[in-house]
Structures are given as structure tokens and as C-alpha cells.
Amino acid sequence: YRYQGTELRKALVGVQGWDFSVVSAKSNRCAHAIAQSVTKEKRHQSYVAMGNPQWLRDLFEADRQRLG
């Protein structure tokens, strides 16, 4: 993902107040699962904007308990 990170930094060079962090997929399981669903399963609709998808409910709850 080094290339994508470099391209993202270039695109955001003029934007103030943004931050870029690299974390492992294990430590950010929900975002990783969403990214996988978009790339592998072609879920291009913005279903996440409508709330937590049913199929991710257990994962979100487990993360909430782990972080809480």
C-alpha cells in the first residue's frame, strides 16, 4: 500500500488539518472488513453511510467492547 499512501499524501498536500496513520488490519478490523467488501465483493454502494451493515454488527460490537 506504499504507492496508495504516497498518492494520498500528494493529493492532500494543500489540505490543512488532516492526519495519516498506518495501523494493522488486526487493530482496525471493521475498516478492514469494509475495505475487503468493497474490493473483493464489489459493494460500491455507500451502505456504510446508512448505518452499520447487519453483516458487520457482531464485529462492531466486539470492537466496541474491546475498546471500552
- In a domain, residue 66? The reply is yes
User: What is residue 68's predicted lDDT score, i.e. its pLDDT?
Assistant: 66
Q: Give pLDDT, residue 7.
A: 92
30 lies in some domain: yes
By residue count, the chain amounts to: 68
Kindly state whether residue 38 falls inside one of the protein's structural domains: yes
Q: How many domains does the chain have?
A: 1
Cβ atoms 48, 34 nearer than 8 A: yes
* The model's pTM: 0.49
Q: What is the pLDDT of residues 13-64, one digit of tens each?
A: 888 988 877 778 777 888 888 888 778 877 766 666 677 778 788 888 888 8
What is the residue range of 64's domain? 25-68
Q: Is residue 46 part of a domain?
A: yes
Q: Which three cell numbers stand for residue 11?
A: 493529493
